[in-house]
Amino acid sequence: MQNTGGADLDERYRKGFPVSWEQFHRDSRALAWRLAEKGPFKAVVAITRGGLVPAAIVARELEIRVIETVCIASYDYGRQGELKVLKPVGETFAENGGEGVLVVDDLVDTGRTARVVREMLPRAHLATVYAKPAGVPLVDTFVTEVSQDTWIYLPWDMALQFVPPFIQQGQP
């Protein structure tokens, strides 16, 4: 599969699933609706960067005011790379294994990121908007399952076509 920007996606992705801002907002609210009966949660931990938007929506819907991030890099557009923990979760959130903490991400693909977060917060509730079969066993709640060979085009990566981050275009 080739993206519209000219770079080839990892060959294991044969299908594309474009998600608009409106759809992502609806799906994130649906995630919050499913999570409402699983709480209460004392805090939300967003897995950056993909988990920032759904975490904000979920936190709003569940009226959770305490929000933290765990920063993990694993993707370069279209390809999974080396997993790097750029910023671990704060010690306060890791107390008691993360009990009462809700961890939110946009999707679980192979489960590599989810495994790292599970090691940090084994008692936290891990939720994603989208899930692929390899990652499903690692999350507690998700909204939509897509096939493993599908690349999800998330709205912040899209215009009418793929737009690389400004920094890669030599723009401020």
Which amino acids are annotated catalytic?
A: 105-106, 109
Query: Distances in Å between the alpha carbon of 19 and those of 23, 51, 106?
Result: 6, 15, 11
Cα 80 versus chain centre, distance: 14
| Element (DSSP H or E) covering residue 111 | none
Which residues does 14 contact at the CB level (< 8 Å), separation at least 6?
1, 149, 150
DSSP bridge partners of 150: 15
Separation CA 142–CA 1 (nearest Å): 26
